[in-house]
Structure 1
Amino acid sequence: MSVLLLALVAGAVVGLALGALGGGGSVLAVPALIHLLDFTPAAATTASLMIVTATSATALFSHATSGHVRWKTGALFAAAGILPAVAAATLAAHLPEAVLTTAFAAIAGLAALAMLRKPSADQKPRPPRPTRAAGAGAGLGAVTGFLGVGGGFLAVPTLISVLGLRMRAAVGTSLLVITVNSLAALVARTDGSTPLDWAVVAPFTGAATLGAWDGKRLATKLSGSALQRAFAVVLLAVAACMLADAVT
């Protein structure tokens, strides 16, 4: 299979995940860029942030038109994570790649298990507290910068378990968080020291953007609990793959 076709297929899958699940874009994009498209881990994380920033912004618009974005909660959550994201991205540049890969796998696995243990995502929501939103947002921002991911794979479980949003609202709101956090982490990483293959990154991003619209349509056909289980299964699979890569 040609590199261009691989980039288009992988991009479509990433966009579908972001549009339907409100996260999972980076945890799918990073392994795809490394294992399918021969990017280095450093180049893959930078390229992933670019791809996810563009794709999540597109998906955010789609979900916002359906009223599934909690703007005040999401804005506070995202704003609290900007500085931690930049600081953590700076720290990550000085750590071994194996450490980052192992941390990536561990956090994804823990988030998946938390999602599987939660009651139905259609449960009655409770009003989120501003202090909780800010604290959770700061923690997520740090993880975003440290691992070079958009953070949606953690934002959705956090918005459900800590802030009490329903699954559909968590999906839409997480896209706002991903867009802001990815952009902040990208600014911290884009220093020109990591060259990118734009012949791969550009079609990957285009396919992901289109896939996000299809993901939004898919999400409307599934229940919140079904989306939550699907999200957890994707996370477990990615965590297993990344952990295997770190120990081999």
Structure 2
Amino acid sequence: MTFLVLALAGIIGIILGLVGAGGAIIAVPILVYLMGIDQSVASGYALFTIAIASAVGAVPYVRRHEVYWTAVYSFGSVALVTTGMVRRFVVPMIPQSFIVAGDRVTDDTFLMIAFALMMFIAAIGMIRAGTGSETREPAPASRLAIAGFVVGLLSAVLGVGGGFLIVPALVLWSGIDMKRAVGTSLVLISANSTIGVLADMTSGMDYDWSFLLTFTGLMSAGILVGARLSRHIDGQRLKTGFGWLVLCIGTIVVSLEFWKLVIAIVE
């Protein structure tokens, strides 16, 4: 089982290096369901591995000048501040459950379904964008800041903050070509994840360093492979592939949450 998990770490890295997304949302279920790690601990492990692997994977993009630094500063700073403020002051006011058609639905289920719907919207947009042109001019800093605010808001409310939100925002809203969006996303993901790791460490979280460093090393190797492969894949194909990947994962999320609702109603 451990061998399978470590092999999957490399695959996650390749996906992350190719499309700038897919790290946490794939890594957490693997750690939870295959390794039997508690969800909260798995989230911390995923943050650690992604912080390092994304930084490693960003290096080839930086060398190829495929990181849009204006977006890193304008988009990233606004997203980070917005996420922190909303998590601190707004999220605590969200009810822990909702009444839907006479049945009580937990906030976790509601937020996961909302997250899946956002994934569907992003997926359709990216698939359609894959048939268009890559010649658009990048958006000005003001528009990047607006995109950062929206992503920060969604990240805080939905409890996610990776490339599944960042890449579509950069490509669809900000007009950045796909390869620069991937490089920019890796830099932003690494920065955001590092902040999360530091918060976990100051709170006294324990790590299984032997497993974690091995998992991180294989993911980092995979992300370098993905970054190298991206040089030989057209940006439009990457957009389409990203869209289908997000669509598949969104469908899985909705199916699982719907099944949980059915079981809850039957019981």
- TM category (shorter chain) comes to 0.7 to 0.9
Describe the shift of the 1:29–1:202 C-alpha distance in structure 2 as closer, same or farther (beyond 3 A): same
1:203-214 alignment runs, 5 A limit: 203-214=214-225
Q: Tell me, yes or no, if structure 1 residue 123 matches structure 2 residue 121.
A: no
Match of 1:227 among 214, 232, 238: 238
Match of 2:152 among 116, 130, 141: 141
Match of 2:29 among 4, 28, 31: 31
The answer to which of 96-105 and 12-21 deviates more is 96-105
- Separation in 2, partners of 1:88, 1:12: 34
Match of 1:238 among 231, 249, 257: 249
Cα deviation for residue 227 of structure 1 reads 0.7
Confirm or deny: 8 A CA contact 2:134 2:236 kept in the other structure.
no
Describe the shift of the 1:196–1:164 C-alpha distance in structure 2 as closer, same or farther (beyond 3 A): same
- Separation in 2, partners of 1:86, 1:43: 21
Cα deviation for residue 194 of structure 1 reads 6.0
- Where do 5+ consecutive residues of structure 2 fail to align? 97-106, 261-267
Secondary structure of the residue that 1:234 maps to in structure 2? helix
Counterpart in the other structure of 1:22: 20
Confirm or deny: 8 A CA contact 2:83 2:153 kept in the other structure.
yes
Matched letter for residue 43 of structure 1: V
- Separation in 2, partners of 1:80, 1:168: 22
Q: State the Cα RMSD in Å.
A: 2.6
Matched letter for residue 62 of structure 2: A
Q: Tell me, yes or no, if structure 1 residue 169 matches structure 2 residue 180.
A: yes
Which structure has the greater CA radius of gyration? 2
- Where do 5+ consecutive residues of structure 1 fail to align? none
For residues 170-189 of structure 1, the C-alpha deviation after alignment (integer angstroms, 9 at most, x for no partner) is: 11111122122223344455
For residues 139-177 of structure 1, the C-alpha deviation after alignment (integer angstroms, 9 at most, x for no partner) is: 223333444544211211111111111111111111122
- Separation in 1, partners of 2:210, 2:108: 25
- Aligned residue pair count: 246
Structure 2 length-normalised TM: 0.81
Matched letter for residue 35 of structure 2: L
What percentage of residue pairs aligned between the two structures are identical?
29
1:65-104 alignment runs, 5 A limit: 65-90=63-88, 91=91, 96-104=107-115
Describe the shift of the 1:155–1:37 C-alpha distance in structure 2 as closer, same or farther (beyond 3 A): same
Confirm or deny: 8 A CA contact 1:145 1:185 kept in the other structure.
no
Confirm or deny: 8 A CA contact 2:57 2:224 kept in the other structure.
yes
Describe the shift of the 1:238–1:53 C-alpha distance in structure 2 as closer, same or farther (beyond 3 A): same
Counterpart in the other structure of 2:9: 11
